[in-house]
C-alpha cells in the first residue's frame, strides 16, 4: 500500500521538530502538523520566555548590589507591558526561525491539529474543529507534549497556568502561587524580582521534592531571603472572586483556616501529557497511568507504542520531561527508523536546572537516592555552603551550596548538586565528568579556577 508520507509527525515542539528534520535528512517524505505556533511549549510558553523574564527580574538585585560597589542608588521600576512585548517579539522570531528550518530541511508544515481516523490515516482539523484534509502515513510520530493541570478545588477556574502568565496585560501587585515544582519557584522569583508581592503555598515542607534535600533547603531559604512569602503545609480549600475582581484564597494550615486576597493565582501543581482529541482509540494506541494518575503513552526503548508503526517521544510519554530529552529522543527515533542506525537513549546522569532565585542545578543521584540504592554506609557526602565573594561588597545575604555524592568503595561520583549563581552553567560541565565515570580523585586532581564558585567542586574535602 502506498501512503502520502513516509513519516507524519503530530506536534511541532522540540521532539517533533528534531525528529522530522532528521528523518527528512535521510530522504524520507515528512510532514508535520501544528495547529498552534511552531516551537512547542519550550519556545512559546516555557523555557525561552521564562528565562527571558528571569533575566529581566534580576536587574532589581543588580541595582541594589551596585551600591556596595560604589554606584549611586537608582530608583528603577519595571515597565511590564514593555517587557512582555519584548519577550513576545523574541518568541515570535524564534517560531519563524523554526519554520524556516523545516522548509530548509524539506519538511512540509501543515497548520492544523491532527487526529487519528484509523491507524494510518489522520484528519487535519482547523481551530473551529472542521476537518480540512485527510492524509495517510507509513509511520506516525506523536510529539504533542504536555499541558498544565489543575486540582479539583472549588473556584480553581479563577486561577491561571504558566501558559497565561505570559499573556497577563498588567503586572499583578499581589500574586498567589500554588505548587512546589520548578515552574512555581521560578515564577515566584521572577515576579518577586519584578516587584510583585508573592505568596507561595506549598503542600509539603519544601519545594522541589524530587531534588536533593540540600537543593530543597537552599532554594527554600533563598526564597525567604528574597522576600517571597512561602507558606508550607497548606491545603487550598477554595478560591472565590470578589466584586472588584480580586481573588480570595481560602486555605488551611496546621488545623486553622485562613484567607488572603490577591490579584491573580498561578496554579503550577503539575503537568500531564496533552492527549485529548488525538483519537488514539481509533488507532488502537494503548495508554497507561502512573501511581499519581497521570495518563501517558507507554513506549519501548525505540519509542514504539503497542502499534508497530506508531511512535511517541517527549512529554507525552511522561518519562523525563525536559526539552533536551525530547530532542534527543526525536533524533534517536529518526536515526533508528530512517537512518539505519538503531540506537537508544541513556536516561542516566541527565542534568537539570531550576532557574529559581537562587538558581539550582543537579546531575546524577541525590544523597537519598544513592543511600537507598547502595546502602547508608556505602555513600560519602562532600558538601560546603558559603557566601560567594560577589556578595562580600554588596552586603546581600546569599549562600551557595556545592555538593558531591560519592560511592565510598570506588570513589565514583554519583551525583553533583548546586544552589547559587550560575548553577546551571557550572553543572553542565560537571555532567560531562559524571557521564565519563569520573571519580573523586579525578575531581581532586583538577586544578581550580580561583576565585570562583565552581572551584569548590574540585577542592571539597
Question: What domains appear along the chain, each with residue ranges and CATH number?
Answer: 5-147+272-338 (3.50.50.60), 156-269 (3.50.50.60), 358-458 (3.30.390.30)
Q: What are phi and psi of 71, to 5 degrees?
A: -80, 150
pTM for this model (two decimals)? 0.96
DSSP 296-349: E----TT-B-SSTTEEE-GGGG-SS--HHHHHHHHHHHHHHHHSS-------SS
In this prediction, what percent of the chain has a pLDDT beyond 90? Answer: 99
- Partners of 402 in beta bridges: 384, 418
Q: What is the mean pLDDT of residues 314-323?
A: 97
Q: What is the mean pLDDT of residues 115-123?
A: 98
Annotated catalytic residue within 61, 235, 309, 450? 450
pLDDT value of position 1: 77
Radius of gyration, alpha carbons of the chain: 24
Give whole-number Cα distances, 347 to 46, 220, 326, 328, in Å.
Answer: 22, 28, 12, 11
Q: What is the mean pLDDT of residues 249-264?
A: 97
Name the nearest CA neighbour of 294 among 270, 322, 266, 313. 270
pLDDT for 288-310, tens place per residue? 999 889 999 999 999 999 999 99
Banded pLDDT at 67 (limits 50, 70, 90): very high
Name the nearest CA neighbour of 257 among 230, 231, 234, 228. 234
pLDDT value of position 195: 97
pLDDT for 168-216, tens place per residue? 999 999 999 999 999 999 999 999 999 999 999 999 999 999 999 999 9
Decide: 322 and 301 in contact? Cβ < 8 Å. Answer: no
pLDDT for 1-42, tens place per residue? 799 999 999 999 999 999 999 999 999 999 999 999 999 999
309 is catalytic: no
Q: What is the mean pLDDT of residues 349-353?
A: 98
Largest CA distance in the chain: 75
pLDDT value of position 11: 98
Q: Is the pLDDT of residue 242 over 80?
A: yes
All three cell numbers of 324, joined, read 533536551
Residues across the chain: 461
Q: What is the mean pLDDT of residues 42-64?
A: 96
Q: Is the pLDDT of residue 342 over 80?
A: yes
pLDDT for 407-441, tens place per residue? 999 999 999 999 999 999 999 999 999 999 999 99
pLDDT for 274-290, tens place per residue? 999 999 999 999 999 99
Amino acid at each position: 500500500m502506498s501512503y502520502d508520507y513516509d513519516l507524519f509527525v503530530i506536534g511541532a515542539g522540540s521532539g517533533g521538530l528534531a525528529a522530522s528534520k532528521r528523518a527528512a535528512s535521510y530522504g524520507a517524505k515528512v510532514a508535520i502538523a501544528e495547529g498552534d505556533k511552531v516551537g512547542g511549549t519550550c519556545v512559546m510558553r516555557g523555557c525561552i520566555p521564562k528565562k527571558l523574564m528571569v533575566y529581566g527580574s534580576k536587574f532589581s538585585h543588580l541595582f541594589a548590589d551596585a551600591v556596595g560597589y560604589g554606584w549611586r542608588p537608582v530608583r528603577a521600576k519595571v515597565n511590564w507591558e514593555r517587557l512582555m512585548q519584548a519577550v513576545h517579539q523574541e518568541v515570535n522570531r524564534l517560531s519563524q526561525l523554526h519554520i524556516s528550518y523545516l522548509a530548509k530541511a524539506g519538511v512540509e508544515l501543515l497548520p492544523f491539529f491532527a487526529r487519528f481516523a484509523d491507524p494510518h490515516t489522520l484528519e487535519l482539523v482547523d481551530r473551529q474543529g472542521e476537518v480540512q484534509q485527510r492524509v495517510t502515513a507509513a509511520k506516525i510520530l506523536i510529539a504533542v507534549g504536555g499541558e498544565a493541570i489543575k486540582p479539583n478545588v472549588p473556584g480553581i477556574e479563577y486561577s491561571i497556568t504558566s501558559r497565561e502568565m505570559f499573556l497577563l496585560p498588567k503586572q499583578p501587585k499581589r500574586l498567589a502561587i500554588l505548587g512546589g515544582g520548578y515552574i512555581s519557584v521560578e515564577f515566584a522569583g521572577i515576579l518577586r524580582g519584578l516587584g510583585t508581592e508573592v505568596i507561595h503555598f506549598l503542600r509539603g515542607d519544601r519545594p522541589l521534592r524530587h531534588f536533593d534535600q540540600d537543593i530543597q533547603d537552599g532554594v527554600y531559604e533563598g526564597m525567604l531571603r528574597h522576600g517571597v512569602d512561602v507558606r508550607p503545609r497548606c491545603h487550598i480549600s477554595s478560591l472565590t472572586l470578589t466584586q472588584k475582581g480580586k481573588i480570595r484564597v481560602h486555605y488551611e494550615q496546621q488545623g486553622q483556616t485562613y484567607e488572603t486576597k490577591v490579584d491573580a493565582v498561578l496554579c503550577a501543581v503539575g503537568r500531564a501529557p496533552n492527549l485529548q482529541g488525538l483519537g488514539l482509540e481509533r488507532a488502537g494506541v494503548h495508554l497507561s497511568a502512573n501511581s499519581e494518575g497521570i495518563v501517558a503513552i507507554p513506549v519501548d526503548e525505540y519509542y514504539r507504542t503497542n502499534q508497530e508503526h506508531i511512535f511517541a517521544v517527549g512529554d507525552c510519554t511522561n518519562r523525563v520531561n525536559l526539552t533536551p530529552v525530547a530532542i534527543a529522543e526525536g533524533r534517536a527515533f529518526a536515526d533508528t527508523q530512517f537512518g539505519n542506525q538503531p540506537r537508544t537513549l541513556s536516561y542516566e546522569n541527565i542534568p537539570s536546572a531550576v532557574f529559581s532565585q537562587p538558581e539550582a542545578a543537579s546531575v546524577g543521584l541525590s544523597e537519598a537516592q544513592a543511600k537507598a540504592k547502595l546502602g547508608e554506609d556505602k555513600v560519602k557526602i562532600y558538601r560546603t555552603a558559603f557566601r560567594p565573594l560577589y556578595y562580600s561588597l554588596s552586603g546581600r545575604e546569599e549562600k551557595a551550596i556545592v555538593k558531591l555524592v560519592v560511592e565510598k568503595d570506588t570513589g565514583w561520583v554519583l551525583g553533583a548538586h548546586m544552589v547559587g549563581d550560575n548553577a546551571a552553567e557550572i553543572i553542565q560541565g560537571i555532567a560531562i565528568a559524571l557521564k565519563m565515570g569520573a571519580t573523586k580523585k579525578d575531581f581532586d586532581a583538577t586544578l581550580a579556577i580561583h576565585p570562583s564558585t565552581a572551584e569548590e567542586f574540585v577542592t571539597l574535602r
